[in-house]
Amino acid sequence: MQTKCHLSILIHEQSKKYGDKPALTFRCFGSLKWKTVSWKQFSLRVKQVSNALLNLGMKPQEKIAVFSQNCVHYLYTDFGAYGDRVVSIPIYATSSEQQIQYVVNDAQVRFLFVGEQEQYDKAHRIFALCPSLERIIIFDDSVRISTHDPAALYFEDFIKLGEGLPRQSEVENRWKDANEDDICNILYTSGTTGESKGVILTYRQYHAAIEANGKCVPISEKDRVINFLPFAHVFERAWAYLSLSVGAQLIINTYPKEIQQSMRETHPSCMASVPRFWEKVYIAVKQRMEEANPVEKLLFKRALAVGRKRNIEYLSQGKRVPLTLEMEYKVMNNSVLSLVRKQLGLNKPNIFPTAGAYVSLEVEEFAHSIGLDMLVGYGLTESLATVSCDHRGKPYTVGSVGRPIEGLEIKIGENGEVLLKGPTITPGYYMRDAINAEAFDKDGFFHTGDAGYIENGELFLKERIKDLFKTSNGKYVAPQQVEALLLVDKYIDQCAVIADQRKFVSALVVPEFRTIEEWAQQHQIKYSSREELCANKMVHDMLLDRIKTLQQGLAPYEQIKRITILPHHFSMETGELTNTLKLKRPVINKIYKSLIDKMYEE
């Protein structure tokens, strides 16, 4: 049962309800041991943060920022801030010094909470450039504070300012004064097309989003929910708050690269993720099956076929499963599919919301076929995550992004643009009147920049309008969909499609170096560096052949004709990727201009 209340008191209300029941499972920085805190302990820590912030003079609607990877301190800090009506601004743990400085100055942040050494060092270097910044508060107690840094304070010392709850009566007065129109968070967009903008998220939006998602997302106090995406990402943030509102246990995964190991150790029942995670799972399982003996291979193929028939051809369409098929599925599930899920640590899987990029049909079908309820959805920071998602118990179509959540009005505008209006939509960008005037039309609809259509109550996306490429022959190409087709290949790790104002489609391809090096060894290809390997004609021709096979379903003008293999990854450090790992196409076009031009030489 969902607890419906203001976020400022949510943890305390849940503490009354669940008491000593586990609330959060986590590992301390650098530790391999999982620990658990109860709802009662969670509530006490949150109250201590609220008291400590008051002792440091924080006033309603003033700003703090959290520059850290996921950790238990992050949740203590956020909910402690909400108790004081203080605005919390998340900053991605991978952000550059320039990005942190920009956010802190744009929002006039007073206190900056940081995670580990890397975050502290960056914060310390920009401190003098941020006039509003008074304190840096450090979560990891192993961080080495710079000599003569009076602004730095360890979190454990910060918490001592709230021990004994010396200002609790004032905190409770803040709870009484809290209202739905207070700003809860400002989330700065990753800026794929330009300067980062702060998206205002109010408590009213959270209230509406949690309630609407609670009606269509089957999650309960029995679930164990692992956090994979950063809390700075609106999807993970909203999903975590939804989970807390129903009393589910959160498992906090601090280091994203360790997610699969964390899953095997903690056995979650739910996880929100982006498609790339499931693409990598799909590639790994497929490769394992390719290496299996003939009997195992046949058995797995049969199990997948049976799973697909039952879960997609029947259940997804709301049809009753024939008894013979149900019996065969039971056998295949117990003998094969459950083993695949167990290898992922998913012994008792419930739901796996997936959004943030285009989900390839191949990957979505695979997830459902092995018995994982992947709820594909669509949303934006500006809509406080969910616009639409698959609803359990209602028919869904593989390839759609589900049905709109309750209370949200969707209209299809010019160029097929998806327009949104409703209680979960942002009131606007922080201190950006001109941009707000462009983002909202006269009827109050927010312009998403995504093209789509609605069919039988389900939303289907076509392309990102700003990302849509037009070739010199006048044909339109949606790069994200073409890229998603390629990313299910075990030899491809990243790719950037090139087509805008060009006579045909090409691509920059970053190989999965481990598999490509194994292939080179098998084919006795000698090389002394990755540069030499990526320049090898046999490697080039092999990858291009595989790409041609993968894109057979595309129209001829959409198909990649030429590729260049890059010997290094696209990265955030070089500005090629946003903090959410989306391609910054203008940057890529600029950095690789000579290589791109070369692909179009006659």
Domain residue ranges of the chain, discontinuous segments joined by +: 10-178+217-270, 275-465, 468-599
Question: Taking Cα atoms as reference points, which of 367, 361, 390 lies closest to residue 377?
Answer: 390
Lowest mean pLDDT among 198-202, 247-251, 354-358, 595-599: 354-358
First and final C-alpha spacing in the chain: 65
Mean pLDDT value of segment 127-141: 96
| Confidence at residue 569, expressed as pLDDT on a 0 to 100 scale | 92
Question: Taking Cα atoms as reference points, which of 341, 361, 360 lies closest to residue 350?
Answer: 341
Give the tens place of pLDDT for each residue, 114-133. Answer: 999 999 999 999 999 999 99
- Identical topology for domains 10-178+217-270 and 275-465: yes
pTM beyond 0.75: yes
* CATH code of the domain made up of 10-178+217-270: 3.40.50.12780
Lowest mean pLDDT among 101-105, 133-137, 159-163, 471-475: 471-475
Q: State the chain's mean pLDDT as an integer.
A: 92
Tokens read off for 44: 């006490």
Does residue 467 register a pLDDT over 70?
Answer: no
| 284 vs 278: CA distance, rounded Å | 10
Whether the Cβ atoms of residue 216 and residue 388 lie closer than 8 Å to each other: no
pLDDT band at 190 (very low <50, low <70, confident <90, very high): low
Give the tens place of pLDDT for each residue, 538-552. Answer: 999 999 999 999 888
Give the tens place of pLDDT for each residue, 484-495. Answer: 888 888 899 999
Q: In terms of DSSP bridges, do strands 63-67 and 87-91 run parallel, antiparallel, or are they unpaired?
A: parallel
How large a percentage of the chain has pLDDT more than 70? 98
Give the tens place of pLDDT for each residue, 336-345. Answer: 999 999 999 9
Lowest mean pLDDT among 24-33, 136-145, 203-212, 482-491: 482-491
Does residue 478 register a pLDDT over 90?
Answer: no
| Confidence at residue 542, expressed as pLDDT on a 0 to 100 scale | 93
| Confidence at residue 98, expressed as pLDDT on a 0 to 100 scale | 86
Does residue 276 register a pLDDT over 70?
Answer: yes
Beta partners for 109? 63
Does residue 464 register a pLDDT over 80?
Answer: no
Tokens read off for 544: 């291009």
Length of the chain counted residue by residue? 602
The topology (CATH level 3) of 468-599 is GMP Synthetase; Chain A, domain 3 (3.30.300)
Does residue 473 register a pLDDT over 80?
Answer: no
Asked whether the CA dihedral 227, 233, 236, 237 is positive or negative, the reply is positive
| Confidence at residue 318, expressed as pLDDT on a 0 to 100 scale | 86
Does residue 237 register a pLDDT over 80?
Answer: yes
Q: What's 275-465's CATH class?
A: alpha beta
Whether the Cβ atoms of residue 415 and residue 427 lie closer than 8 Å to each other: no
Residue type, 132: S
| Confidence at residue 191, expressed as pLDDT on a 0 to 100 scale | 58
Mean pLDDT value of segment 17-39: 95
Helix (H, G, I), strand (E, B) or coil at 66: strand
Lowest mean pLDDT among 199-213, 363-377, 547-561: 547-561
Whether the Cβ atoms of residue 477 and residue 558 lie closer than 8 Å to each other: yes
Does residue 193 register a pLDDT over 60?
Answer: no
Residue type, 72: V
Give the tens place of pLDDT for each residue, 479-530. Answer: 888 888 888 888 999 999 988 778 888 999 999 999 999 999 999 999 999 9
| Confidence at residue 469, expressed as pLDDT on a 0 to 100 scale | 73
Give the tens place of pLDDT for each residue, 69-107. Answer: 999 999 999 999 999 999 999 999 988 888 899 999 999
What are the distances in angstroms from CA 448 to CA 88, 190, 480?
25, 15, 16
- 10 Å CB burial of residue 481 (0-12, 13-18, 19+) is middle
pLDDT band at 355 (very low <50, low <70, confident <90, very high): confident
| Confidence at residue 148, expressed as pLDDT on a 0 to 100 scale | 84
| Confidence at residue 468, expressed as pLDDT on a 0 to 100 scale | 67
Q: What residues have CB less than 8 Å from 70, skipping those under 6 apart?
A: 227, 230, 231, 236, 252, 253, 254
pLDDT band at 264 (very low <50, low <70, confident <90, very high): very high
Q: What residues have CB less than 8 Å from 521, skipping those under 6 apart?
A: none
